[in-house]
Amino acid sequence: MKDKKALIIGSGIGGLATAIRLSKLGFSVHVFEANEFAGGKINSKTFKNYRFDMGPSIFTEPYLIDELLELSELKTITFDYSLLSESCRYFFADSHSFTLPVGKKEVSSKIAIELGEDEKKVFSYLDRMEKNYTAVAPVFIHVSLHKIKQLLNKQMLSALKRLFKYGLSSSMNKVNTSYFKNPKTVQLFNRFATYNGSNPYETPGMLNIISHLELNKGPALPKGGMFMITKTLYDLAVQLGVTFSFNEKVERILYSNNRATGLKTAKGDYSSDIVVSNMDVHFTYEKLLNDFPFHPKKILAQEKSSSAVVFYWGIKKQFKQLGLHNIFFSEDYKKEFKSIFETKEMDDDPTIYVNITSKIEKKDAPANSENWFVMVNAPINVGQNWDEIVSATRQNILKKLSKLLKTDIESIIEVEEVMDPIKIESLYSGKQGSIYGNASNSKSAAFYRHPNFSKKLKGLYFTGVTVHPGGGIPLALNSAKIVERCVKDDFEL
């Protein structure tokens, strides 16, 4: 099979995982990356002795990385991580704060104590989400929805038996409101819509299963930070013989007779048996297949996911009340999402996420200091004045954090870097700065993500967060598994 060639566009986590899987299938794999580094959004930078993970900071289902290690059969590379005993620390507008642990019993008890909910009802909710996830994963997350052979598996019946328990006809917010009496509890569970850049007041209740991964099973942190996910997979790929070309931007996907035949870059043409795009699916068609007559117009026309504004702050102080993951909620959550998705404005009271890896990885910040990754959800870029928006957002964040933490935050910022939707589009090729491609702001949107293969060009496949099964590290890794299975089927391997 080494005479079979696979070319991969982009070295995000989906691209890296796909490279490993195709290499193990026997393909000669070549990955093209426009940037000088591997990993896409999962990369690391150091500014004046403060190290930051520049992108994703929530890591669940680490077994998916373990799977790739086992698949590689390489004993020289290891991946170390710790399972966290707490999921997140929450801070509300009225100064109420608490830390949420991990586990159904522990979370149920804590929410009952802090928010006055019925402990048994919270446990029932969490148990429902676990059962929903267990039932739906084999027929939605682990397989292609567009291949009958994959979809009709032995778990389908179990999934169908729970059809009316998924909340498909209700929004995430409606499901949560029906369970919980305290608006704070509803807000806490609504926030999981942001994990794929969606609006909890529009996205289907089925996506409440996201909470299962963080609250029931719990998050993890790789030793060395999130960047070690990228480093591990890159090292695996290199040792398996995968070729990487950095700073080599793909200009076109070549095709002939309705079959992908290779790629064109500034350095020349490359022929192959298959092509895999880890690039945003919108830009794959718009930039690399712009003359191809069969674009999936309905999919590409769907509402885009949210973007983000991120401040990377080196803080000359340590805060005992903060943990690895911290959320400072807005007072009016519905208004915040209306700004993001309807008016395309930045709300003046955004929910703030603060990630501080130096809480665990001490070397990530100097002594008595902390590395703050400060993120707020933002609208996609539709031509707004982002210099003004970022400046105003910075002041709103500083005002809010300073009040809740009883410290003048601006006076202790030693290092500052910024990411905004324009930079996200430029650096990571996310259309209009969207992080996850399409949002899931309709009852059917989750089922209408682009498939992991082209229906019009044989030999063209898609991986990553902008295609099925969706956004986030676990789903990107699962997309690589689906591509592998599609290739196996197509090549009868």
3-state helix, strand, coil in the chain (%, to 5): 40, 20, 35
82-94 mean pLDDT: 97
Whether residue 107 sits in one domain with residue 213: yes
Domain end marker among 217, 236, 265: 217
12 DSSP assignment: B
Single pTM value for the model: 0.96
Positive or negative, the Cα torsion across 51, 233, 197, 160? negative
Residue 275: both structure tokens together: 């092509």
Q: How confident is the model at residue 207 (pLDDT cuts 50, 70, 90)?
A: very high
Whether residue 174 sits in one domain with residue 111: yes
pLDDT digits (tens, 9 = 90+) for 158-168: 777 787 777 77
441 CB contacts (<8 Å, ≥6 apart)? 198, 199, 202, 203, 303, 341
Number of domains observed in the structure of the chain: 2
Is residue 106 predicted with pLDDT exceeding 90? Answer: yes
Domain end marker among 169, 191, 217: 217
Is residue 110 predicted with pLDDT exceeding 60? Answer: yes
At residue 151, the pLDDT reads 66
Looking at every residue in the chain, the average pLDDT score rounds to 95
- Residue 98 belongs to some domain of the structure: no
- Residue 469 belongs to some domain of the structure: yes
Percent of all residues in the chain with a pLDDT value above 90, rounded to a whole number? 90
Whether residue 192 sits in one domain with residue 119: yes
pLDDT digits (tens, 9 = 90+) for 10-26: 999 999 999 999 999 99
Whether residue 116 sits in one domain with residue 31: no
At residue 446, the pLDDT reads 66
Whether residue 210 sits in one domain with residue 253: no
- Residue 487 belongs to some domain of the structure: yes
Whether residue 252 sits in one domain with residue 201: no
Whether residue 261 sits in one domain with residue 187: no
- Residue 388 belongs to some domain of the structure: no
Domain end marker among 160, 187, 217: 217
Positive or negative, the Cα torsion across 306, 85, 100, 401? negative
47 CB contacts (<8 Å, ≥6 apart)? 312, 314, 415, 417
Instruction: Specify the residue for token string 């982002």.
Output: 386
Residue 444: both structure tokens together: 């059917």
At residue 78, the pLDDT reads 95
- Residue 34 belongs to some domain of the structure: yes
Q: What is the span of the domain harbouring residue 30?
A: 5-40+224-302+439-491
170-187 mean pLDDT: 97
List the CATH number of the domain containing 274.
3.50.50.60
Which range (116-130, 158-172, 205-219, 346-360) has the least confidence? 158-172
Closest to 465 in 3D by CA, of 416, 431, 490, 489: 431
Whether residue 192 sits in one domain with residue 172: yes
**Dihedral of the alpha carbons of 29, 33, 38, 43, in degrees to the nearest 10:** -150
User: Residue 184, Cα to own-chain centre: how many angstroms?
Assistant: 24
Q: Which residues pair with 354 in a beta bridge?
A: 326, 374
Whether residue 209 sits in one domain with residue 109: yes
Instruction: Specify the residue for token string 């591997």.
Output: 38
- Residue 247 belongs to some domain of the structure: yes
82-95 mean pLDDT: 97
At residue 440, the pLDDT reads 92
Q: How confident is the model at residue 141 (pLDDT cuts 50, 70, 90)?
A: confident
Whether residue 194 sits in one domain with residue 148: yes
- Residue 12 belongs to some domain of the structure: yes
Alpha helices in 383-468 (DSSP H): 386-405, 421-428
Whether residue 210 sits in one domain with residue 113: yes
At residue 401, the pLDDT reads 98
